[in-house]
Amino acid sequence: MRPRSTRSYTYILTSRPEPSVALITLNRPKALNALSSALMTELNQALGEADTSKEVGAIVITGSQTAFAAGADIKEMKDLEFSTAYSTDFIADWARLTQIKKPIIAAVSGYALGGGCELAMMCDIIIASPTAVFGQPEIKLGTIPGSGGTQRLARVIGKSKAMEIVLTGRTFSAAEAEKWGLVSKITSEEEGAVVTESVKMAKQISEYGALAVKAGKELVNAAYELSLQEGIRLERRVFHSLFSTGDQKEGASIQLQEFLRFIFFLGMRAFAEKRKSQFKGE
């Protein structure tokens, strides 16, 4: 699948494979999608647009068959001096992705190294092609991951594995990533399958109530920052607050009808309004 842009960017392509799904494709094929400042600026713009769009319910970020992203742009960084980095606030906006409220799926094929692996881990769900190659090779460049790699890896795959990956710089496969819980699903090897599967999941998510989806995302992410007790208290508060939404009423009424239809087995015509929940995001 080679998506055409819905608007014009230089280093990414944006499209809507489904009306409710924004697909962002990193597009610097000659540099294996190395994440230059210009690319990151465009990515942030596209994410911002998708997050505020009324039609979009979920976002997919992908790269090419060969590379999701081979890291931050080493060529851009190699001669950087402190004064320029400091005065331009170099790569300060990398974490913008983590403030997006709508769910983001990383559809990873090929290399996801360094900043590329960190970018995938900033997303909410990672779906990988069997060819995906993950890694934090920064140690080989005399440095360490700088955009959350040490922290997110340790939280997801545990201390010993994270240490091994960060300190040896060795890459790891899609199969390992799935076994360790970093990747939620591996697709078939067929070209484009990882994007197709990701868009399918994004579409499914986008059909649920937008407020509940955002709340679910916020709460799962909160689990990484709060104690269990604080997290459970926050979950209960947000759970309570969702009773004030129209979507909850819609969902509950359909659930009740389904339940009653089940109990009274086809006999209760009054509850036979067979329709799917129609969430409005309110």
| Residue 131: DSSP 8-state | T
Q: 204-263: which residues touch ligand DAK (CB under 6 A)?
A: none
| 75 binds ligand DAK, rule: CB under 6 A | yes
8 Å CB contact between 43 and 91: no
Residue 34 and residue 40: Cα distance in Å, rounded?
A: 10
Among 9, 11, 68, 111, binds ligand DAK (CB under 6 A): 111
Strand-strand pairing, 172-173 and 111-113: unpaired
**Six-digit token pair at 150?**
């040490």
Q: Which is nearer to ligand DAK, 147 or 187 (CB)?
A: 147
What is the secondary structure of 212-266 as a DSSP string?
A: HHHHHHHHHHHTTTS-HHHHHHHHHHHHHHGGGSHHHHHHHHHHHHHHHHHHTTT
267 included as an active-site residue:
no
Minimal distance, residue 235 CB to ligand DAK, in Å: 30
Among 39, 43, 61, 91, binds ligand DAK (CB under 6 A): 91
Q: 131-190: which residues touch ligand DAK (CB under 6 A)?
A: 137-138, 141, 146-147
| 63 binds ligand DAK, rule: CB under 6 A | no
What does residue 131 show for φ and ψ, rounded to 5 degrees? -85, -5
| 70 binds ligand DAK, rule: CB under 6 A | yes
- The residue ranges that bind ligand DAK (CB under 6 A) are 31-32, 34, 70-75, 91, 94, 111, 113-115, 137-138, 141, 146-147
Residues designated catalytic: 72, 115, 118, 138
